[in-house]
Amino acid sequence: MEYAYVTGYSNDSDNLFSTLASAGNEMMDTLDGSEPVSVVQNTYKKTIEIKEIIMDCLQGTEILPINDKDYKNKDVDEIISKMDEFSETFHRLQNELDELHKLYNHEYKSTQENIAKLDTTIHYMKVMNEEYDKDETITEIMDKMNFYAGKIKENDKLKVAKDNYTTKRKELNSYLYFIQNLNKWNISAICPICITDKIDSYCNPCGHTACKKCLVRNSSIANNVNHNKCPICREYVMDIRKLYFI
């Protein structure tokens, strides 16, 4: 092994030791004397630094922000903006469809009541048919019954309510079609409705899943949504149940 020559010193050993001692005294003067001084070689310091850098890469200690302002993507930002609009529109359509469904049910019930009235009217007219030409009072009553039956026939409120409900349902189905295709990318159990929170509940009995907030958003009482319908298939929901993952 070759050693580097020490320059600037005399070959005289006494002078060498004297110089080293003087340098040591000067070093001690710069310290407060609270801790011992240890002189070690640092020839491998660079290697240690390289190892630490590699270990950081292996351990993933560097956290990269998802929404990095330095790497914005215009297309992605536009999609996110449209997704926010989509969520608002989807909830609005759900509410509008619920109102139309209530109106349709009301007209449906009214039509059933009218049918029951017609049945009663027909039964009475059958009984009194032979007296139609004999008694003016019965004639007048039966004529008014026929006129009333005609008014019921002309009532198209049920048809209008059904057509409005069907049109709104088709409009909502286009959004459900989008959700269905979007779920092909959903590999992290994200709610298919708000596309924000994680799936944690499901509708009983249809079994469709979403986050609880979206499933019970129309209910004022938790787990008591007998008048609510599944936002996906529109079937009546008995209750919202917790979804457990293994």
Beta-carbon contacts of residue 125 (< 8 Å; ≥ 6 apart): 142, 145
Residue 212: closest CA among 228, 197, 233, 195: 197
Rounded-to-integer distance, Cα 162 and Cα 169, Å:
10
pLDDT at 3 over 70: no
* 120-171 per-position pLDDT tens digit: 888 888 888 877 777 888 888 888 888 888 888 777 888 899 999 999 999 9
pLDDT value at position 38? 52
Write the DSSP assignment of 79-147 as a string of letters.
Answer: HHHHHHHHHHHHHHHHHHHHHHHHHHHHHHHHHHHHHHHHHHHHHHHHHHGGGTTT-HHHHHHHHHHHH
Give start and end residues of each alpha helix (H) in the chain: 13-29, 45-59, 74-128, 136-154, 157-182, 212-215
> pLDDT tens, 176-216?
888 878 777 766 678 888 777 888 898 888 888 888 888 87
Its sign, for the CA torsion 187, 192, 196, 202, is: negative
pLDDT in tens, 209-234: 888 888 877 554 444 444 677 888 88
- Tens of pLDDT, residue by residue over 29-84, are 554 555 555 555 567 777 887 777 777 767 655 566 677 777 788 888 888 888 88
Report the pLDDT value the prediction gives residue 167, as an integer from 0 to 100.
93
pLDDT score of 166: 92
Identify which has the larger pLDDT, 244 or 115: 115
